[in-house]
Amino acid sequence: MKPTIYDVASKANVSIATVSKVLNNSGRISDETRKRVLKVIEQLNYQPSMMATALTGKSTFTIGLLIPDMANPFFGELARNIEDRGHELGYNLLICSTDYQPAKEQNYIELLKRKSVDGIILASGFEQTSEVDKLVKEKFPVTIVARDFPSTYVNSVSLDDFQGGYEATSYLIQLGHRQIAIIARDVWSNRERMRGYKKALEDHGLEEYAMFTFVEKSTVEWGKKVAEEYLRSEKPPTAIFACNDLLASGAIQAARTLHLHVPDDVSVIGFDNTIIATLVDPQLTTMAQPIRAMGREVMDLMVGEIKKEEQSKRRIVLSPTLIKRGSTAKLNK
């Protein structure tokens, strides 16, 4: 049976109120009493109930994070950086992976609210603006990361995905490529990257060469499948822009399957600059997201909202950076 606050108070020979003050670091208590209570808490391995804490109107120092795909290294690295910053600020993180499923998103939001988290951070796969609007209307602390909700009055930290798509495509054009294909998923961030891709082709008079496909999942397997279709076509691309590193590594595998050499026969560029980018052969040219900065910024906004430090909402947009590696080269045809 789990020890209760009553057990701690009894063994430490103090009142329940005193134990509560020690736990919340409030009120005037002698150092001797505080040390005695903390020693008993350690001996009994007492852990305050999150729900009980919430019922007193106090913070649970817990924040929920909804991410769409735990298997994608980008979201794993993002969650780690959010968690690290949370620990620095004295907050714990409850992470839920939604698999891009609206029903899971809604269920997890309700679950986190029942767990009395102090706030919820929503990551880029989240497509339901109605759920965000509902949280805002309820004045429940919420922040958005890795995507944008321009129509909703909410704190957010996002990447300029349009710029990233434009720069990635422009770089391939600078290398002499004209037949440039793109592989994307039908989610907000990828749609913005594709918009940048199309704009870059248009600005260079190459819009007629556009080749694009939306995949069902952001996986190596789907990247390989679509890239093979591109490379087997009547007019195969000389370069492929994949909207994340997993899809890009699949494109490299597709080239190898068809006995094509990367980058001599086909250049490949990815997006995110996750650990995947340095594990594939050749190492992947990619658009780097400032993942650490995103994690820290969104946690700072979240805690500020919980503490009501700022009345106005902030919309932070960060820029990607092109990282050149061995998977791209000048067109030699």
For 171-191, the pLDDT digits (tens) are 999 999 999 999 999 999 999
Whether 324 is covered by a domain: the verdict is no
Contact at 8 Å (CB) between 298 and 82?
Answer: yes
Q: pTM, whole model, 2 decimals?
A: 0.82
Whether 140 is covered by a domain: the verdict is yes
266 with 169, same domain: the answer is: yes
Q: Which amino acid is at 215?
A: V
The total of structural domains in the chain comes to 3
Whether 54 is covered by a domain: the verdict is no
Instruction: Determine how β-strand 211-215 pairs with β-strand 180-185.
Output: parallel
Q: What is the pLDDT along the chain (333 residues), one digit of tens a residue?
A: 778 778 888 999 998 878 877 876 667 888 899 889 889 988 988 876 655 554 455 677 899 999 999 889 999 999 999 999 998 998 999 999 998 888 899 899 999 988 889 999 999 666 767 888 888 899 999 999 998 887 788 999 999 999 999 999 999 999 999 999 999 999 999 999 999 999 999 999 999 999 999 999 999 999 999 999 999 999 999 999 999 999 999 999 999 999 999 999 999 999 999 999 999 999 999 999 999 999 999 999 999 999 887 778 999 999 999 999 999 999 986
Which ranges of the chain would DSSP assign to H, the alpha helix?
5-12, 16-24, 31-44, 50-55, 73-88, 102-114, 129-137, 161-174, 188-203, 220-231, 245-257, 276-279, 291-306
68 with 108, same domain: the answer is: yes
A 10 A CB-CB count for 296 gives: 19
The whole-chain average pLDDT of the chain stands at: 91
- Give residue 245's Cα distance to chain centre: 14
CATH number at residue 221: 3.40.50.2300
Whether 313 is covered by a domain: the verdict is yes
Whether 152 is covered by a domain: the verdict is yes
At 50 the pLDDT is: 55
* Measured CA distances, 223 to 75, 214, 219, 311 (Å): 18, 10, 6, 44
User: Can you give the residue range of the structural domain that contains 220?
Assistant: 161-289
Peptide bond into 102 cis (omega under 30): no
